[in-house]
Amino acid sequence: EAGVVQSPRYKIIEKKQPVAFWCNPISGHNTLYWYLQNLGQGPELLIRYENEEAVDDSQLPKDRFSAERLKGVDSTLKIQPAELGDSAVYLCASSFGLKSYNEQFFGPGTRLTVL
């Protein structure tokens, strides 16, 4: 079974440029998460989807970040415009079912560097 797929793995951009990350969850997983992980820190939830509905996006900086999960399968996270402080690893995870104690399966992440 394929795991959570993320692309690109690495991205380097200049500040004020737009950037997008893509995530394909494990087949059949209803819930999808986007996390931000700064160096030396734990993941911080940005947004959580149950199927195609965003059910928790309180930590998503909506002035520059946006996300979508069309048809409740893969998802895209966008930053426009990027700032220096956005440099981090962006993790995607998915889980089966809608319970918070279900195991989350994580992708390898996208490492973003903003110059």
Partner 1 sequence: AQSVTQLGSHVSVSEGALVLLRCNYSSSVPPYLFWYVQYPNQGLQLLLKYTSAATLVKGINDFEAEFKKSETSFHLTKPSAHMSDAAEYFCAVSRYSGGSYIPTFGRGTSLIVHP
Task: Provide the CB-side half-sphere exposure for 71 (13 A, CA).
Answer: 6
DSSP 69-92: -GGGS-EEEEESS--GGG-EEEEE
How many degrees, rounded to 5, is the angle at CA 81 between CA 31 and CA 8? 50
Nearer of residues 65 and 104 to partner 1, judged by Cβ: 104
Contacts with partner 1 by CB under 8 A: the residue count is: 26
CA distance 60 to 45: 8
Q: Which residue has the tokens 């903003």?
A: 114
Query: Is there binding between residue 101 and partner 1 (CB under 8 A)?
Result: yes
Shortest Å, Cβ 99 to partner 1: 8
20-39: contacts with partner 1 (CB under 8 A): 33
Residue 25: strand, helix, or coil = coil
> Do 77 and 65 contact (CB within 8 A), yes or no?
yes
**9 versus 15: smaller Cβ distance to partner 1:** 9
> Which is nearer to partner 1, 71 or 99 (by Cβ)?
99
Q: Which one of 8, 17, 56, 80 is in contact with partner 1 (CB under 8 A)? A: 56
Whichever of 81 and 105 has its CB closer to partner 1, that residue is 105
Positions in the binding site for partner 1 (CB under 8 A): 3-4, 33, 40-45, 48, 55-56, 58, 91, 93, 98-101, 103-109
